[in-house]
Amino acid sequence: MSDKHIVSGFDRDLAAIETSVAQIGAMARDALRDAITACLERDRDLAAQVKTGDHALDRLEADTRLATIKLIALRAPSAVDLRFVLAVLEICAHLERCGDYAKNIAKRSTELGPHAQLAGTDRALLRMSQSVGQMLGDALAAFLDRDVDKARAVIASDLETDHSYNSLFRGLLTYMMEDPRNITAGMHLHFVAKHLERIGDRATGIAEQVIYLVTGELPDDDRPKADLTTPPAPSAG
Amino acid sequence: MSDKHIVSGFDRDLAAIETSVAQIGAMARDALRDAITACLERDRDLAAQVKTGDHALDRLEADTRLATIKLIALRAPSAVDLRFVLAVLEICAHLERCGDYAKNIAKRSTELGPHAQLAGTDRALLRMSQSVGQMLGDALAAFLDRDVDKARAVIASDLETDHSYNSLFRGLLTYMMEDPRNITAGMHLHFVAKHLERIGDRATGIAEQVIYLVTGELPDDDRPKADLTTPPAPSAG
What pLDDT, on the 0 to 100 scale, is given for residue A235?
Answer: 42
Give the Cα separation of B172 and A186 in Å (integer).
13
Partner-chain contact B235 A180, CB within 8 Å? yes
Mean pLDDT, residues A22-45 taken together: 97
Distance in Å, alpha carbon of A153 to nearest chain B alpha carbon: 25
Mean pLDDT, residues A134-154 taken together? 98
> What is the nearest CA distance from B91 to chain A, expressed in angstroms?
13
Residues 96-115, chain A: which have Cβ within 8 Å of B? 110-112, 114-115
- Residue A128's nearest CA partner among A147, A111, A105, A148 is A105
Report yes or no for ipTM above 0.90.
Answer: no
Note whether B82 contacts A93, CB cutoff 8 Å.
no
Residue B90 and residue B84: Cα distance in Å, rounded? Answer: 10
Residue to substitute from B61, B64, B229, B230, interface A, most A β-carbons within 10 A: B229
For residue A129, tell me if it sits in a domain: yes
pLDDT at position A230, please? 44
What is the rounded distance in angstroms from the CA atom of residue B20 to the CA atom of residue B140? 12
**Facing A183 at nearest CB: one of B77, B176, B194:** B176
Of all residues in chain A, the percent with pLDDT exceeding 90 is 77
Please give the residue range of the domain that contains residue A56. Answer: 8-215
Q: Is residue A5 pLDDT above 70, yes or no?
A: no
Report residue A120's pLDDT band, with 50, 70 and 90 as the boundaries.
confident
Q: Give residue A228's pLDDT.
A: 57
The single-letter code of the amino acid at A28 is A
User: Assign residue A198 a region: left if phi > 0, alpha if psi is -120 to 50, beta otherwise?
Assistant: alpha
| Residues of chain A with C-beta less than 8 angstroms from the C-beta of B69 | 72, 85-86, 89
Q: How far apart are CA B53 and CA A66, in angstroms?
A: 31
Q: Which of A138-147, A200-209, B109-118 has the lowest mean pLDDT?
A: B109-118
Q: What pLDDT sits at residue A119?
A: 82
Query: By CA distance, what is A179's nearest residue in B?
Result: B237
- Nearest CA to A105 out of A175, A36, A50, A162 is that of A36
What number of C-beta contacts closer than 8 Å exist between A and B? 96
> Is B30 within a domain?
yes
CA of A56: how far to CAs of A62, B38, B43, B90, in Å?
Answer: 10, 40, 43, 19
d(CA B115, CA A108): 28
Of the pLDDT bands very low, low, confident and very high (cuts 50, 70, 90), residue A234 is very low
Specify the DSSP element, H or E, that contains B125.
Answer: helix B119-145
pLDDT tens across the length of chain B (237 residues) = 555 555 578 899 999 999 999 999 999 999 999 999 999 999 999 999 999 999 999 999 999 999 999 999 988 888 888 899 999 999 999 999 999 999 999 999 988 988 888 888 999 999 999 999 999 999 999 999 999 999 999 999 999 999 999 999 999 999 999 999 999 999 999 999 999 999 999 999 999 999 999 999 888 765 555 655 644 434 443
- Judging contacts by C-beta atoms under 8 Å, the chain B residues touching residue A235 are 180-181
To the nearest 10 degrees (0 to 180), the angle between helices B79-112 and B183-215 is 170
Q: Residue A184: which of B78, B173, B191 has the nearest Cβ?
A: B173
Shortest distance between the Cα of A223 and any Cα of chain B, in A, equals: 14
Question: Is residue A223 assigned to a domain?
Answer: no
Residue B220 forms part of a structural domain = no
Is A196 contained in some domain? yes
CA distance B143 to A217: 33
Query: Which residues have a Cβ under 8 Å from the Cβ of B221 and sit 6 or more positions away?
Result: none
Radius of gyration of chain B measured on its C-alpha atoms: 20
Lowest mean pLDDT among A4-8, A77-81, B57-61, B78-82: A4-8
What residues contact residue A102 under an 8 Å CB cut-off, 6+ apart?
Answer: A28, A31, A32, A34, A35, A50, A54, A195, A199
Nearest residue in A to B221, CA atom: A55
pLDDT value, residue A56: 97
Which residues in chain A touch residue B114, judged by CB atoms under 8 angstroms apart?
231, 233-234
CATH of the domain at A85: 1.20.58.220
Is residue B32 packed enough to be buried (19+ CB in 10 Å), middle (13-18) or exposed (0-12)? buried
Q: Which residues of B touch A228 (CB under 8 A)?
A: none
Q: How many CA atoms lie within 13 A of B146 on its CB side?
A: 8
Please report whether residue A231 resides in a domain.
Answer: no
In a domain, B92, yes or no: yes
**What is the pLDDT at residue A218?**
85
Provide Rg for chain A, Cα atoms. 20
CB atoms within 10 A of CB B50: 28
Interface of A with B in 32-91 (CB under 8 A): 66, 69, 72-74, 76-78, 82, 85-86, 89
- Cβ B183–A176 below 8 Å, yes or no? yes
Residues B146 and B140: their CA atoms lie apart, in Å, by: 10
pLDDT tens track for B171-202: 999 999 999 999 999 999 999 999 999 999 99
Contact in structure between B15 and B78 (CB atoms under 8 Å): no
> Smallest Cβ distance to A86: which of B69, B185, B188?
B69
Q: Is B73 helix (H, G, I), strand (E, B) or coil?
A: helix
**C-alpha closest to that of B88 among B66, B105, B119, B107:** B66
Contacts of B173 in chain A (CB under 8 A): 183-184, 187
Average per-residue pLDDT in chain A? 90
Does a structural domain hold residue B237?
Answer: no
- Give residue-wise pLDDT tens across range A182-199: 999 999 999 999 999 999
> Inter-chain contact B86–A72, Cβ cutoff 8 Å?
no
With CB atoms and an 8 Å threshold, state whether B82 touches A73.
Answer: yes
Q: In this complex, do B77 and A73 lie within 8 Å of one another by their Cβ atoms? A: yes
Instruction: Tell me how close the Cα of A209 comes to any Cα of chain B, in angstroms.
Output: 13
Q: Which of B173, B231, B237 sits opposite A114 (nearest CB)?
A: B231
Q: Per 3-state DSSP, what percentage of chain B is helix, strand, and coil (rounded to 5)? A: 85, 0, 15
Q: How many domains does chain B have?
A: 1
